[in-house]
């Protein structure tokens, strides 16, 4: 199997065999690839496999290993991300708004090269496109050459914290572009990367795309999500003791559509991050999530708004259908709620991770008065203007709250 770190013997072996590639058959090249160290990000193993496939285009093991390498070093989300036209257009507009002719642009994490090419198109004097994963960096170079932008863009196969001003870049950058956020903004290390970049790689008061991001939370009803992650039974057997392993669901856009996540109230902000001057300190907040609809609360969904430039933002909230997934924190118990109910959560973050704990929902109040034909409080303006909010007066024959046809 593939090893993590090259041993001295491995390095000697590679050095010895590399000049003799032409003399090796496909099986020998694949055997070398299988034992190649991966500390170089899979570059050497990829080269060996490319040569094996040149000799035998249908070599089974070579195809399997090549795929294994690609899955390991080129995360699959790159493809839906590049197909996310809303994201791409927002970045195109924001970069055009922020980059001025003559600017030196640092694109941190260029991936396939899209953001770097947008900066070049926006008039940058030169773009330094940094990509820590060497297989991806090599592909970006090719993409940029294919688009006749190699004279405007230098691709560096490095992590941004390895960059040296005066060696890798002639000077600090006027603009820092990045898109290194996962579905909760933090998981790809944006805080640490941008804290370092704005301090050490950018000019004072440099412009940044994105400028800021906000994490927010919202109560949702989704019997589909609950059934998918916490099925009560299978073939008549009680599975509930297994539910403790299903607290956080990483809901893909497809899951989200299939499970029909229905917001039960507005979002409430958890944390705000200023990416032009990031702060690495940890955060903790306790906030109420309000309900403006009647239903059954199954989960708390966390999403983000990210401001790329004034008036230009991207989001993965429930009104969007882009490529980012959403973290959903499942309630212990499906909880009936009505207009005015509130569930309290505590959210905490460090430099790369978010945790959300949900306070006991057994005490959740249901402030609408459940008497036939009578409401004892006046709906607020907000409640009456919510398109989904309905004052509901239950009938004595009504079934469980979640079955009620109020929406």
- Residue 41 within binding range of ligand SAM, rule CB under 6 A: no
Among 37, 42, 111, 322, binds ligand SAM (CB under 6 A): 111
Decide: is 159 part of the binding site for ligand SAM (CB under 6 A).
yes
Q: How many CA atoms lie within 13 A of 351 on its CB side?
A: 11
**68-97 binders of ligand SAM (CB under 6 A):** 81
Q: Which of 46, 115, 338, 341 binds ligand SAM (CB under 6 A)?
A: 115
Q: Nearer to ligand SAM by C-beta: 81 or 301? A: 81
Q: Which is nearer to ligand SAM, 136 or 169 (CB)?
A: 136
Min CB(32)–ligand SAM separation in Å: 26
Residue 213 to residue 302: CA distance in whole angstroms: 13
Q: How many angstroms separate the Cα of 160 from the Cα of each of 110, 130, 221?
A: 11, 7, 41
Euclidean distance between the first and final Cα of the chain, in Å?
55
Single out the segment in contact with ligand SAM by CB under 6 A; choices: 32-40, 188-196, 250-258, 285-293.
Answer: 188-196
Counting residues that bind ligand SAM (by CB under 6 A) gives 20
| Listed residue (195, 188, 204, 217) closest to 273, CA to CA | 195
- Interface pick for ligand SAM out of 109, 265, 295, 322 (rule CB under 6 A): 109
How far apart are CB 75 and ligand SAM at their closest, in Å?
A: 8
- Restricting to residues 119-158, which ones interact with ligand SAM according to CB under 6 A? 130-133, 136
Asked if 180 interacts with ligand SAM (CB under 6 A), we say: yes
- Which residue's beta carbon is nearest to the bound ligand SAM? 109
Which is it for the CA torsion 393, 399, 403, 405, positive or negative? negative
CA–CA separation, 118 and 173 (whole Å): 16
How far is it, in rounded angstroms, from Cα 211 to Cα 313? 10
Span interacting with ligand SAM, options 186-194, 210-218, 280-288, 314-322, rule CB under 6 A: 186-194
For the beta sheet containing 153-156, the strands, ordered from the edge strand earlier in sequence to the opposite edge, are 153-156, 126-130, 104-108, 173-178, 202-209
Q: Buried (b) or exposed (e) across 157-189, using 16+ Cβ within 10 A? A: bbbbeebeeeebbeebbbbbbbbbbbbbbbebb
Binding footprint of ligand SAM on the chain (CB under 6 A) = 81, 108-112, 114-115, 130-133, 136, 159-160, 179-180, 188-189, 193
């Amino acid at each position: 199997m593939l090893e993590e770190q090259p041993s001295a013997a491995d390095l000697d072996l590679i050095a010895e065999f590399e000049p003799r590639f032409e003399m090796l058959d496909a099986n020998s090249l694949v055997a070398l690839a299988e034992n190649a160290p991966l500390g170089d990000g899979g570059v050497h193993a990829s080269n060996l496999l490319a040569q094996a496939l040149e000799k035998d285009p249908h070599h089974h093991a070579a195809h399997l290993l090549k795929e294994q390498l690609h899955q390991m070093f080129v995360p699959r989300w790159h493809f839906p991300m590049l197909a996310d036209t809303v994201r791409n257009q927002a970045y195109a507009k924001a970069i055009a708004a922020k980059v001025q002719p003559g600017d030196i642009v640092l694109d941190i994490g260029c991936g396939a090269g899209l953001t770097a090419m947008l900066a070049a198109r926006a008039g940058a004097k030169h773009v330094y496109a940094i990509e820590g994963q060497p297989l991806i960096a090599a592909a970006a170079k090719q993409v940029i050459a294919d688009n006749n932008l190699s004279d405007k863009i230098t691709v560096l196969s490095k992590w941004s914290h390895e960059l040296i001003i005066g060696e890798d870049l002639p000077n600090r950058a006027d603009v820092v572009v990045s898109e290194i956020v996962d579905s909760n903004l933090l998981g790809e290390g944006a805080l640490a990367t941008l804290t370092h970049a704005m301090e050490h790689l950018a000019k004072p008061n440099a412009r940044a795309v994105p400028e800021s991001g906000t994490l927010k939370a919202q109560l949702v009803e989704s019997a589909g999500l609950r059934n998918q992650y916490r099925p009560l039974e299978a073939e008549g057997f009680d599975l509930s003791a297994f539910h403790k392993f299903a607290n956080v669901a990483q809901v893909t856009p497809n899951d989200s559509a299939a499970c029909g996540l229905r917001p039960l109230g507005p979002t409430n902000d958890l944390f705000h991050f200023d990416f032009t001057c990031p702060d690495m300190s940890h955060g903790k907040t306790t906030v109420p999530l309000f309900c403006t609809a009647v239903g059954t609360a199954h989960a708390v969904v966390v999403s983000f708004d990210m401001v790329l430039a004034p008036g230009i933002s991207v989001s993965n909230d429930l009104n969007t259908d882009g490529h980012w997934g959403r973290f959903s924190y499942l309630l212990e118990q499906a909880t009936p709620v009505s207009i005015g109910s509130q569930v309290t959560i505590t959210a905490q973050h460090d430099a790369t991770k978010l945790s959300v704990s949900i306070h006991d929902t057994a005490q959740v109040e249901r402030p609408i008065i459940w008497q036939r034909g009578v409401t004892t409080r006046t709906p607020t303006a907000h409640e009456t203007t919510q398109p989904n909010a309905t004052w509901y007066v239950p009938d004595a024959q009504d079934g469980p709250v979640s079955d009620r046809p109020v929406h």
